[in-house]
Chain A
Amino acid sequence: MAEVLVLVEHSGGEVKKITNELLTAAARLGEPAAVVVASPGIAGKLRDRLAAYGAVKIYIAESEEVDRYLTAPAVGVLAALVASVRPVAVILAASPDGKEIAGKLAVRTGSGLLSDVVELAADGTATHSVFGGSYLAKSRATTPVAVITVRAGAIEPRQTPGAATEQPIEIPAVSARTAKVLERRLIEGGDRPELTEASVVVSGGRGVGSADNFRVVEKLADALGAAVGASRAAVDSGYYPHQFQVGQTGKTVSPQLYVALGISGAIQHRAGMQTSHTIVAVNKDPQAPIFEIADFGVVGDLFTIAHQLTEIVTIRKS
């Protein structure tokens, strides 16, 4: 069976959840081969998890150089592997880095790029959710190798043991014309679930009114075990940090439950959340467009409703 390369996403010596999803997707097309590009000593820590999700092989490219550049070492390693092992596909996360590595790899190897895929079939047909979930489109690469980026949370990860045979490989020299990383300041994730992975998301909009008031949104989120999201208006007003923006130019989320508090429901916000399983909204304006897509809506004051709902949920849990 042909190999399918999976670029492993990891941080702090741990495999990120998306990697399990990528390995699961890869197993549909061929033999999953994990590719770890990291500073020395990391791959050993990742091995067990990669084996548990079906990695037949692990290509290990370790060097101190890796942290000095953003994507170039990974592009070099994957391009070399494409030439030597002739995989049917290379699968990466549809993250900012994953998308850029994929794009550069596609150029370098002349391979078709299938971007931001939400489903992948055994014959290589990829499904994309386009225009903020208003269309589904299916595509295929017309080249021998397909470079595919997969959206986080779209594919149900499946545990299945793999041999995880380790094979060290060289990192090709990085071109002198590559941007250097001077500094990397990690943004702390906090204790709440990751936005794109959470099964419940509670989002606040401009109606929340201030950064302090966002405590109300956070309290309801914590009672529900949810991630917190925000509209662009809330982010632009400085109520909540950028990485929590949901929508066209923010995150796309598809949780079991999406709670919109003080969000009008502009088309660009809907683009990031309308594929949620259940949507509930609280807004004081009965004409707010969010009500057109809400499964349950309350016309009322978000502070009153969020506070009372937090109490009800807390009591039910105890």
Chain B
Amino acid sequence: MNIVVLIKQVPDTWSARTLTDSDHTLDRASAEVVLDEINERALEEALKIKEAGQGEVTVVTMGPPRAAEAIRKALSMGADKAVHLSDETLHGSCAIATAKALAKVIGTLGDVDLIIAGNEATDGTVAAVPAMVAEVLGLPELTHARTVTLQGRTVTVERQTDDAITVLQAELPAVISVNEKINEPRYPSFKGIMAAKRKPVSTLSLADAGVERTEVGLANATSTVIESAPCPPRVAGQIVTDEGEGAAMLADYLIGQKLI
């Protein structure tokens, strides 16, 4: 079983996230960055599948040089190797370009059985890259999975959305995206952290991956951000301590605001 996990380094949701003034892209330089939590769950699912049978888990990311830290984390959790598509021209790529470039990188890995991604990244919240990668590769996608079951070459997932649980099935190769409730990702062990240092990481340029320069980057994006501005932060209002009258005071406030 040859499994690829798509991982993305994102600004830590615990830190203040900003857009740059110059081109309105994510300010990756000033942000504290982490491996997106949902990708730890995607990797956990891949490692479970590997451990239940056999195979190899390759993590793939497209991102700036710093994304090497996210790769390191994934390797310490137990991924076998990594491919990092990193090229200055990629800066500001749109979702279509991202999906096409990721598909090209996956194409360099030989016969891939399963591609596992997160259902939504916490920075762009596009929640479509996995389906778009599947579209480019002509593979079935089984998204928002809360469970994944493999039987031979048949994969079945329970897809969880607000209105329904949908049981989806396809034959491998296939693309899966997992939701936040699928599992609890493991922590890297000391042994895992040490082993990660010796695991192979190949860094690809656009040319290495066979991606055309005219297909990616801000200049070739199919959509562009034309302006951005931070919203004024909310300010704290009135805080009272309940000494028997708390609910009445809250009710008075709501009545004053015509909310009840």
A interface with B by C-beta (< 8 Å): 11, 70-71, 75, 95-97, 99-100, 102-104, 106-108, 110-116, 125, 129-131, 133-143, 146, 175, 177-187, 189, 200, 224, 235-236, 242-243, 248-249, 256-257, 267-268, 271, 274-275, 278-280, 282, 286, 291-301, 304-305, 307-309, 312-313, 316
Contact = CB atoms under 8 A, between A and B. Distances in A.
A313 B131 CA distance: 46
Nearest to B249: A298
B247 A304 contact: yes
What 8 pairs between A and B have smallest CB-CB spacing? A300-B242, A103-B128, A308-B247, A112-B222, A112-B223, A295-B237, A137-B228, A100-B131
A249 B179 CA distance: 9
Chain A contact surface mostly: mixed
Nearest to A102: B128
Given A187-B165, A294-B236, A140 B224 contact: yes
B242 A184 contact: no
Interface in B36-89: 38
Contacts of B94: 112-113
Given A107-B96, A296-B238, A249 B38 contact: yes
Contacts of B160: 242
A130 B143 contact: no
Interface bracket on B: 35 or more
Nearest to B168: A179
A115 B168 contact: no
A305 B242 contact: yes
Question: SS class of chain B's interface: helix, strand, loop or mixed?
Answer: mixed
Given A130-B19, A242-B181, A103 B239 contact: no
5 contacts: A104-B132, A180-B169, A184-B167, A187-B162, A294-B239
A137 B227 contact: yes
A299 B242 contact: yes
A167 B9 CA distance: 46
Contacts of A296: 237-240, 250, 253-254
B60 to A, nearest CB: 18
A304 B247 CA distance: 8
A107 B143 contact: no
A178 B96 CA distance: 20
A102 B94 CA distance: 14
B226 interface: yes
Interface string B1-39: 000000000000110111100001000000000000010
B207 interface: no
Q: Which of A114, A138, A274 has the most CB of B within 10 A?
A: A138
